[in-house]
Structure 1
Amino acid sequence: MKNETDFICKTIAKNIKKIREDQKLSMDQLASISGVSKSMIGQIERAETNSSISTLWKLASGLHVPFTALIEQSKEHVMRVDKESVNIVKNEDGLFRMYPYFPIDENRNFEILYIELDPGACSHSEPHATGTEEYIIVFGSTLELTIGEEIHEIHSGDAIYFTANEPHSYRNKTKETLTMINIISYA
């Protein structure tokens, strides 16, 4: 029971601190708008005390967030993604299919995409913002990757990294479906 209580206290501490900081509030400001003392807020944010429901309600009201925002776990420690559950993005002819398994969000500056290119498929990409990097691992066939004017052939099992601040395109010139993992890291 103690471990469960400690976990809940740590979750509440993390959530309150994050919400307060996201709203650019000091502990003094939160104390003023919630009616909870600064020293109590400090103890809660350090997970040194088991807060009463009344105190948590005051903090939630002061922060203008639902009560559950203070007690919910931010993310699962394990997240399984089934291909069928991912929103597929296709080009016009349907020969290039992209599955954003892990889209970018406020907690990470990268995304992980699973991509399928049927024989003859081609997709062009405009330059990304300066500092954007792409990491690609190819499976099943050979990818022809054009970066600016340079053409690279990446064979099954091989990988490539490049800065993506110039036009680039992906092409499958083979007779087999090509799959690749594309990790895009944003500055």
Structure 2
Amino acid sequence: MDTNMELLSHHLANNLVELRQRRNLTQSALAKLVDLPRSTIANLESGTGNPSLANLARLSSALQTSIDQLLTPQRTSATLIKASETPIQERSQGHVKVFKLLPDKLPSMEIDRMEIEPGFSMKGIPHAPGTKEYFHCVQGEVTVKMSGAEYVVKKGDTLAFPGQVSHTYVNSGKVLGIGLSVVVLAPLSI
């Protein structure tokens, strides 16, 4: 068996076992569901079987997945993004750093870590209508200015406000201001 076929058999074996067990099926129950001998299921799960396209289609239908997902490597649900790989935007001539913490582009959510040097500010970007922004201060204190009001957010505090409002973050303190900004699409009732 060539290397590509060995990999496909290995992926099929792992995925078949996981999907079958996730659905609380025995090999016999799955075999009955797809009208195949239990020994065929056992061979596929051990990586020694060579299924026909028709059998793959029956298995994928019974397990409610695609043939592609049966044959590809399992995807882990965790992704580690190293600090050196985190995208950073510099604003206010480099005195403010915005670390983009979500590796996935989600249209309804943003999470950023902001570091604002003492004496500097950053104009926030208004978000789409219907969003809500939550700013949590991790270190120092950051004043958030919007609509003629000022909110001093100290270490441990969280400020919630409509995301579409123009706002500015100001560090008028003597230490680096660090905060987390979470922007989410919110139901109208919030």
**What TM-score comes out, normalization by structure 2 length?**
0.62
Report the equivalent of 1:91.
91
What residue in structure 2 maps to residue 82 of structure 1?
A: 82
Q: Check whether the contact 1:136–1:180 (CA below 8 A) recurs between aligned residues.
A: yes
The 1:122–1:5 alpha-carbon spacing in structure 2 relative to 1, beyond 3 Å, is same
The residue aligned with 2:60 is 44
Query: Closer, same or farther in 2 for the Cα pair 1:178/1:159, shift >3 Å?
Result: same
Quickly say closer, same or farther: Cα 1:166–1:45, change in 2 above 3 A.
farther
Letter of the 2:185 counterpart: Y
| Cα offsets for 1:27-49 (capped at 9, x unmatched) | xxxxxxxxx88xx8575244169
| Matched residue, 2:127 | 128
Measure, in 2, the Cα distance between the counterparts of 1:4 and 1:73: 7
Aligned partners of 1:83 and 1:99 also within 8 Å: no
**In the alignment, is residue 178 of structure 1 matched against residue 172 of structure 2?**
no
Which 5+ residue runs of structure 2 have no aligned equivalent? Answer: 1-9, 22-52
- Please report how far the alpha carbon of residue 122 of structure 1 lies from its aligned counterpart in structure 2 after TM superposition: 0.7
Q: Which runs of 5+ in 1 are unaligned?
A: 11-35, 57-66
Confirm or deny that 1:5 pairs with 2:21.
no
- Between the aligned partners of 1:124 and 1:103, the Cα distance in structure 2 is 24
**Residue 72 of structure 2: aligned partner:** 71
One-letter identity of the residue aligned with 1:77: S
Which secondary structure state, in structure 2, belongs to the residue aligned with residue 84 of structure 1? Answer: helix
1:18 alignment partner in structure 2 = none
Partner of 1:161: 160
Q: CA RMSD in A?
A: 3.5
Q: Give the deviation of 1:137 after TM superposition.
A: 1.1
| CA-to-aligned-CA distance 1:27-78 (integer Å, 9 cap, x gap) | xxxxxxxxx88xx8575244169x9xxxx4xxxxxxxxxx68962445x322
* Shift >4 Å, 4+ stretches: 1-4, 40-43, 67-70
Instruction: Give the percent of matched residue pairs that are identical in Structure 1 and Structure 2.
Output: 20
| Shift, 1:117, TM fit | 0.6
- How far off its partner does 1:3 sit? 6.6
Q: Is the 2:145–2:151 Cα contact (8 Å) retained in structure 1?
A: yes
Instruction: Give the whole-Å Cα distance in 1 for the aligned partners of 2:15 and 2:60.
Output: 16
Q: Which residue of 1 aligns with 2:24?
A: none
Q: Is the 8 A contact 2:111 2:183 kept in 1?
A: yes
What is the rounded CA distance, in whole Å, between the counterparts of 2:70 and 2:129 in structure 1?
Answer: 35
CA–CA distance in structure 1, aligned partners of residues 152 and 136 of structure 2? 12
